[in-house]
Amino acid sequence: MADRRTALLNAAIEQIASNGTRGMRIGKVAKVAGVSPALIYHHFGNRSRLLQQALQYVGERADTYTRPVAGSARKMLLGLLASEFQDERSVRTNSAAWGELRDTAIFDAALRPTLTALTRKWVHSIAELVRRGHQDGSISPLVNPEAAGVCFSALAEGLSSRWLAGLLSTRAARAHLATGVNAMLGKSH
């Protein structure tokens, strides 16, 4: 059961990334996952609920490939943010689906609680690393953890849109992110 639900969510995310939220067809998702459309309604209730679950799942998938690297808190933070940009197809798919679902929340208020919760979680994980950086001396104590969390995640999202649209290479996206973040973090010792 859990595997079938995962297969359905993966198929939904693929469809959303390739055709947009509006272009996602329940029939196509069912076909790709090898189940009947009726089963999708059985699992998710309706289309809106499927989108919410897909967004939640995009967040869970992102947790599997975004990781801080070993080192000082500043290094961990830079590594965590850089890992948003990877050449693996699954990472691009996940990022594209995130962008699509985030933009769908402009019209579909039902997506907002999940979007808000996932964005907050991201902001807090950055803020937590900034706090650790205050302790290990790798980040200036003048940097406000929550403000840094909002700014760095928003910067990553803005660069991600350009990266997905083919305006920035993976290397360039990471370089711009590091430049912006290091500038905001100030000098370390």
When binding is defined by CB under 8 A, the residue of 112, 137, 141, 169 that contacts its own copies is: 112
When binding is defined by CB under 8 A, the residue of 59, 68, 99, 145 that contacts its own copies is: 99
When binding is defined by CB under 8 A, the residue of 28, 103, 125, 131 that contacts its own copies is: 103
Site for its own copies contains 161 (CB under 8 A): yes
**Residue 29: CB minimum distance to its own copies, A:** 16
Using alpha carbons, select from 90, 67, 74 the residue that is nearest to residue 138.
Answer: 74
Own/partner long-range contacts of 175-182 (Cβ < 8 Å, ≥24 apart): 177/81, 177/82, 177/84, 177/85, 178/78, 178/82, 180/152, 180/155, 181/77, 181/78, 181/81, 181/152, 181/155, 182/78
Window 13 to 32, contacts with its own copies (CB under 8 A): 18-23
**Residue 184: CB minimum distance to its own copies, A:** 4
Region from 34-42, 45-53, 66-74, 102-110 binding its own copies, contact rule CB under 8 A: 102-110
**Residue 150: CB minimum distance to its own copies, A:** 5
Rounded CA separation 111/140 (Å)? 36
Using alpha carbons, select from 62, 57, 73, 70 the residue that is nearest to residue 160.
Answer: 62
When binding is defined by CB under 8 A, the residue of 4, 27, 154, 171 that contacts its own copies is: 154
Q: Please give the single-letter amino acid code of residue 76.
A: M
| Contact criterion met (CB below 8 Å) for 186 and 143 | yes
Beta-carbon count within 10 A of 135 CB? 10
**Residue 27: CB minimum distance to its own copies, A:** 17
Region from 54-62, 69-77, 78-86, 112-120 binding its own copies, contact rule CB under 8 A: 112-120
